[in-house]
Structure 1
Amino acid sequence: MNEVVLQQLVDAPLEETVVRIALAGALGMFLGLEREWSQKSAGIRTFSLISLLGAVFTVLVREADVGESLLLLGGLLVIVQGVLLAVQGLTDGDEDTGLSLTTSVSMLVAYGVGALVAAGFILEGVTVAVLSSLLLVLKRELHEFAWGLSREEMRSTTEFAILAFVIYPILPPEYEPEIAGVTIPLEPQVIWLMVVAVAGIGIVNYAIVSTYGGRGIAVTGFFGGLASSTAVVGTMLDQVRQRPEAASYAVAAILLADAAMAVRNLAIAVAFTVGSDVSPLIEAFVPLGTVIVLAFVITGLTANWRESTTMDLESPFSMKNALGFGAVFLVVLVFGSLAELWFGTLGFYITALASGLVSSAGATTSAVVLYRGEQLTSAEATIAILLATVSSIVVKAVLAAASTNTQFKRRVAIYSGVLLLGGALASLVVVL
Structure 2
Amino acid sequence: MNEVALQVAETPFEETVVRIALAGALGMFLGLEREWSQKSAGIRTFSLISLLAAVFTVLAIETESAIGEGLLVLGGVLVIVQGVLLAVQGLMSEDETGLSLTTSVSMLVAYGVGALVAVGFILEGVTVAVLSSLLLVLKRELHEFAWGLSHEEMRSTIEFAILAFVIYPILPAETTVEFAGLAIPLEPQVIWLMVVAVAGIGIANYAIVTTYGGRGIAITGFFGGLASSTAVVGTMLDHVRQRPEAASYAVAAILLANAAMATRNLAIAVGFTAGSDSEILVEAIVPLGAVIVLAFAVAALTADWDESGPMELESPFSLRNALGFGVVFLGVLVFGSLAETWFGTLGFYATAVASGFVSSAGATTSAVVLYRGGQLGGPEATVAILLATVSSIVVKALLASTSTNTDFRNRVTAYSAILLIGGTLASVLVVV
Give the TM-score category using the shorter length. 0.5 to 0.7
Q: 1:203 to 1:36 in 2, by over 3 A?
A: farther
Q: Residue 329 of structure 1: CA displacement?
A: 4.0
Question: How high is the TM-score relative to the length of structure 1?
Answer: 0.53
Q: What letter matches 1:62 in structure 2?
A: I
Q: 1:258 to 1:127 in 2, by over 3 A?
A: farther
Counterpart of 1:125? Answer: 125
Q: Residue 64 of structure 1: CA displacement?
A: 2.0
Q: Residue 352 of structure 1: CA displacement?
A: 4.5
Q: Residue 338 of structure 1: CA displacement?
A: 2.9
Counterpart of 2:77? Answer: 76
Q: Name stretches of at least 5 consecutive residues in structure 1 with no aligned partner.
A: 1-11, 242-249, 267-307, 356-362, 403-412, 418-432
Please give the residue correspondences for 1:296-375 in structure 2 after superposition, counting only pairs within 5 Å. 315-343=315-343, 344-353=347-356, 355=357, 363-364=358-359
Q: Residue 90 of structure 1: CA displacement?
A: 1.9
- For residues 93 and 201 of structure 1, the distance between their equivalents in structure 2, rounded to whole angstroms, comes to 43
Q: 1:197 to 1:166 in 2, by over 3 A?
A: closer
Q: 1:185 to 1:387 in 2, by over 3 A?
A: closer
Aligned to 1:176, the other structure's residue is in SS state strand
Please give the residue correspondences for 1:237-316 in structure 2 after superposition, counting only pairs within 5 Å. 258=260, 315-316=315-316
Q: Residue 107 of structure 1: CA displacement?
A: 1.8
- For residues 220 and 312 of structure 1, the distance between their equivalents in structure 2, rounded to whole angstroms, comes to 17
- Indicate yes or no: 2:33 matched with 1:34: yes
- For residues 191 and 78 of structure 2, the distance between their equivalents in structure 1, rounded to whole angstroms, comes to 41
- Indicate yes or no: 2:42 matched with 1:43: yes
Q: What letter matches 1:151 in structure 2?
A: H
Counterpart of 1:54? Answer: 53
- For residues 258 and 41 of structure 1, the distance between their equivalents in structure 2, rounded to whole angstroms, comes to 53
Q: Residue 153 of structure 1: CA displacement?
A: 3.8
Q: 1:77 to 1:312 in 2, by over 3 A?
A: same
Counterpart of 2:278? Answer: none
Aligned to 1:183, the other structure's residue is in SS state strand
Q: Deviation digits for residues 154-186 of structure 1, max 9, x if unmatched?
A: 345445555766656875565322234443444
Aligned residues: 325
- For residues 385 and 21 of structure 1, the distance between their equivalents in structure 2, rounded to whole angstroms, comes to 58
Question: Is the 1:199–1:316 Cα contact (8 Å) retained in structure 2?
Answer: no
- For residues 129 and 201 of structure 2, the distance between their equivalents in structure 1, rounded to whole angstroms, comes to 24
Q: Deviation digits for residues 211-246 of structure 1, max 9, x if unmatched?
A: 9x46xx9999479945996789x9xxx99x9xxxxx
Question: Is the 1:27–1:51 Cα contact (8 Å) retained in structure 2?
Answer: yes
- For residues 31 and 389 of structure 1, the distance between their equivalents in structure 2, rounded to whole angstroms, comes to 53
Q: 1:352 to 1:148 in 2, by over 3 A?
A: farther
Q: Residue 91 of structure 1: CA displacement?
A: 2.7
Q: 1:96 to 1:39 in 2, by over 3 A?
A: closer
Question: How high is the TM-score relative to the length of structure 2?
Answer: 0.53
Q: Deviation digits for residues 16-56 of structure 1, max 9, x if unmatched?
A: 43343344334334433433333333333333332332222
Q: What letter matches 1:104 in structure 2?
A: S
Question: Is the 1:36–1:42 Cα contact (8 Å) retained in structure 2?
Answer: yes
Q: What letter matches 1:55 in structure 2?
A: A
- For residues 221 and 87 of structure 2, the distance between their equivalents in structure 1, rounded to whole angstroms, comes to 37
Q: What letter matches 1:73 in structure 2?
A: L
Question: Is the 2:163–2:196 Cα contact (8 Å) retained in structure 1?
Answer: no
Question: Is the 1:206–1:224 Cα contact (8 Å) retained in structure 2?
Answer: no
Aligned to 2:45, the other structure's residue is in SS state helix
Q: What letter matches 2:85 in structure 1?
A: L
Counterpart of 1:139? Answer: 139
Q: Residue 122 of structure 1: CA displacement?
A: 3.3
Counterpart of 1:86? Answer: 87
Aligned to 1:125, the other structure's residue is in SS state helix
Q: 1:65 to 1:224 in 2, by over 3 A?
A: farther
Q: 1:182 to 1:218 in 2, by over 3 A?
A: same
Q: What letter matches 2:37 in structure 1?
A: S
Question: Is the 1:51–1:115 Cα contact (8 Å) retained in structure 2?
Answer: yes
- For residues 25 and 391 of structure 2, the distance between their equivalents in structure 1, rounded to whole angstroms, comes to 44
Q: Deviation digits for residues 119-157 of structure 1, max 9, x if unmatched?
A: 233343333333333333333333233223333443454
Question: Is the 1:32–1:43 Cα contact (8 Å) retained in structure 2?
Answer: yes
Q: Which moved more, 1:47-56 or 1:193-202?
A: 193-202
Counterpart of 2:16? Answer: 17
- For residues 19 and 390 of structure 1, the distance between their equivalents in structure 2, rounded to whole angstroms, comes to 56
Give the alignment's Cα RMSD to 1 decimal.
5.9
Question: Is the 1:51–1:111 Cα contact (8 Å) retained in structure 2?
Answer: yes
Q: Name stretches of at least 5 consecutive residues in structure 2 with no aligned partner.
A: 1-10, 226-230, 240-244, 269-307, 371-383, 397-407, 412-418, 424-432
Aligned to 1:315, the other structure's residue is in SS state coil
- For residues 146 and 161 of structure 1, the distance between their equivalents in structure 2, rounded to whole angstroms, comes to 16
- For residues 386 and 103 of structure 2, the distance between their equivalents in structure 1, rounded to whole angstroms, comes to 45
Q: Deviation digits for residues 311-364 of structure 1, max 9, x if unmatched?
A: 7566335322441343244234323333443442322323444x4xxxxxxx24
Q: Residue 72 of structure 1: CA displacement?
A: 1.6
Q: What letter matches 1:144 in structure 2?
A: E
Aligned to 2:176, the other structure's residue is in SS state coil
Question: Is the 1:51–1:112 Cα contact (8 Å) retained in structure 2?
Answer: yes
- For residues 155 and 22 of structure 1, the distance between their equivalents in structure 2, rounded to whole angstroms, comes to 44
Q: Residue 70 of structure 1: CA displacement?
A: 2.0
Counterpart of 1:183? Answer: 183
- For residues 327 and 94 of structure 1, the distance between their equivalents in structure 2, rounded to whole angstroms, comes to 57
Counterpart of 1:6? Answer: none
Q: 1:218 to 1:94 in 2, by over 3 A?
A: farther
Q: What letter matches 1:350 in structure 2?
A: V
Question: Is the 2:49–2:107 Cα contact (8 Å) retained in structure 1?
Answer: yes
